[in-house]
Amino acid sequence: MSQQRQGSTPGEADGVPAFPDLPEATIARLPEYLRALHHLAETGAETVSSEGLAAAAGVNSAKLRKDLSHLGSYGTRGVGYDVALLIDQIEYILGLDKNRAVCLVGVGNLGHALAGYAGFASRGFRVVALFDADPKKVGERINGLAVQHIDDLDRVAAEEGIAIGVIATPPGSAQAVADVLVAAGVTSILNFAPGVLSVPPNVDVRKVDLAIELQILSFHEHRKASLTALPGGRSAEGGNQEAVGS
Amino acid sequence: MSQQRQGSTPGEADGVPAFPDLPEATIARLPEYLRALHHLAETGAETVSSEGLAAAAGVNSAKLRKDLSHLGSYGTRGVGYDVALLIDQIEYILGLDKNRAVCLVGVGNLGHALAGYAGFASRGFRVVALFDADPKKVGERINGLAVQHIDDLDRVAAEEGIAIGVIATPPGSAQAVADVLVAAGVTSILNFAPGVLSVPPNVDVRKVDLAIELQILSFHEHRKASLTALPGGRSAEGGNQEAVGS
DNA sequence: CGCGATTTGTGCACGCCTTCACAAGCGCCT
DNA sequence: AGGCGCTTGTGAAGGCGTGCACAAATCGCG
pLDDT single digits (tens) B26-37: 999 999 999 999
Q: Residue B226: what pLDDT?
A: 85
Which chain A residue shows the shortest CA-CA distance from B142? A109
Cβ separation B223–A125 shorter than 8 A? no
Gap from A37 CA to chain B (nearest CA, Å): 11
- In B, which residues are within 8 Å of A36 by CB distance? 196
Question: How many angstroms separate the CA of B62 from the C1' of D12?
Answer: 14
How does pLDDT run across A195-205, given as a tens digit for each residue?
A: 999 999 999 99
Distance from residue B60's CA to nucleotide C19's C1', rounded to whole Å: 9
Q: What pLDDT, on the 0 to 100 scale, is given for residue A18?
A: 64
| Mean pLDDT, range B234-245, rounded to an integer | 48
pLDDT higher than threshold 60 for residue A232: no
Measured between alpha carbons, how far is B40 from B44 in angstroms, rounded to an integer? 7
> Which of the two residues, A235 and A161, has the higher pLDDT score?
A161
Query: How many CA atoms, within 13 angstroms, populate the side-chain half-sphere of residue B7?
Result: 9
Instruction: Give the Å distances, CA to CA, from B19 to A197, A224, B84, B95.
Output: 33, 10, 21, 12
Nearest to A99 by CA among B229, B109, B193, B214: B214
User: Per-residue DSSP letters for chain A?
Assistant: -TT---SS-S--SSS--------HHHHHHHHHHHHHHHHHHHTT--EE-HHHHHHHHTS-HHHHHHHHHHT---EETTTEEEHHHHHHHHHHHHTGGG-EEEEEE--SHHHHHHHT-HHHHTTTEEEEEEEES-TTTTT-EETTEEEEEGGGHHHHHHHHT--EEEE-S-HHHHHHHHHHHHHTT--EEEE-SSS-----TTSEEEE--HHHHHHHHHHHHHHHHHHHHSTT-----S--SEES--
For A141-166, give the DSSP string: EETTEEEEEGGGHHHHHHHHT--EEE
Residue A4 binned pLDDT confidence (cut-offs 50, 70, 90): very low
User: Distance, in angstroms, between A2 CA and closest chain B CA?
Assistant: 24
Strand D contacted by A66 CB (< 7 A)? yes
Beta-carbon contacts of A107 under 8 Å, excluding residues fewer than 6 positions away, are A115, A130, A131, A132, A137, A140, A142, A147, A168
Distance from CA of B180 to the nearest CA of A (A): 17
Chain B window 18-47: residues with CB closer than 7 Å to nucleic chain C are 23-26
- Whether residues B216 and A245 touch (CB distance < 8 A) is answered with yes
- How far apart CA B21 and CA B63 sit, in angstroms, is 17
Beta-sheet pairing, A75-76 with A204-207:
unpaired
Q: Compute the distance between CA of residue B181 and CA of residue B162 in angstroms, rounded to an integer.
A: 10
CA-CA distance, B191 to B194, in Å (whole number)? 8
| B residues 101-160 lying closer than 8 A (beta carbon) to A | 102, 109-110, 112-114, 116-120, 122-125
Share of chain A above pLDDT 70, in %: 85
* For helices B24-42 and B50-57, angle between their N-to-C axes, nearest 10 degrees: 100
Whether the beta carbon of A2 falls within 7 A of nucleic chain C: the reply is yes
Residue to substitute from B206, B208, B237, B242, interface A, most A β-carbons within 10 A: B206
Spacing of A49 CA from C5 C1' in Å: 15
Nucleotides of chain D touched by protein CB (<7 A): 5-11, 16-21, 24-27
Measured from the Cβ of residue B140, the count of other Cβ atoms closer than 10 Å reads 14
Which residues does chain B have within 8 Å of residue A233's beta carbon, measured at their own beta carbons?
A: none
Q: Does B146 contact strand C, using a CB cutoff of 7 Å?
A: no
Q: Predicted confidence band at B73 (pLDDT cuts at 50, 70, 90)? A: confident
Using 50, 70 and 90 to split pLDDT, how confident is the model at B220? Answer: very high
* pLDDT of amino acid B236: 43
How far does the CA of A60 sit from the C1' of D18, in Å? 9
- Nucleotides of strand C within 7 Å of the protein's CB atoms: 5-11, 16-21, 24-27
Residue B15: CB atoms within 10 A of its CB come to 8
Tell me the C-alpha distance between B199 and B205, whole Å.
8
What does residue A130 show for φ and ψ, rounded to 5 degrees? -120, 140
Q: Is the CB of B60 under 7 A from strand D?
A: no
Nearest to A27 among B58, B117, B216 (CB): B216
A13 interfacial to chain B (CB closer than 8 Å): no
Domains, chain A: 24-96 (1.10.10.10), 99-210 (3.40.50.720)
CA distances from B109 to A210, B72, B118 (A): 16, 43, 16
Average pLDDT, whole number, for chain B?
Answer: 89
CA distance A59 to A243: 10
Nearest amino-acid residue to D19, taking CA and C1'? A62
Nucleic strand C contact set for A 35-74 (CB, < 7 Å): 48-51, 61-62, 65-66, 68-69, 73-74
| Interatomic CA distance for residues A104 and B208, integer angstroms | 18
| pLDDT band with cut points at 50, 70 and 90 for residue B10 | very low
B73 Cβ within 7 A of any nucleic strand D atom? yes
The mean pLDDT value for A84-111 works out to: 96
C1' (C1) to CA (A79) span, angstroms: 22
User: Residue B47 pLDDT > 70, yes or no?
Assistant: yes
Is A190's CB within 8 Å of B196's CB?
no
pLDDT at B227: 78
pLDDT at A27 over 70: yes
**What pLDDT does residue B19 have?**
78
Q: Write down the pLDDT at residue A242.
A: 53
Comparing CA positions, the residue from B176, B72, B28, B178 lying closest to residue A220 is B28
The residues near B155 (Cβ < 8 Å, ≥ 6 apart) are none
Position B4 pLDDT exceeds 50 = no
The strand pairing partners of A101, in sequence order, are: A126
Select from B35, B208, B210 the Cβ nearest to the Cβ of A194. B35
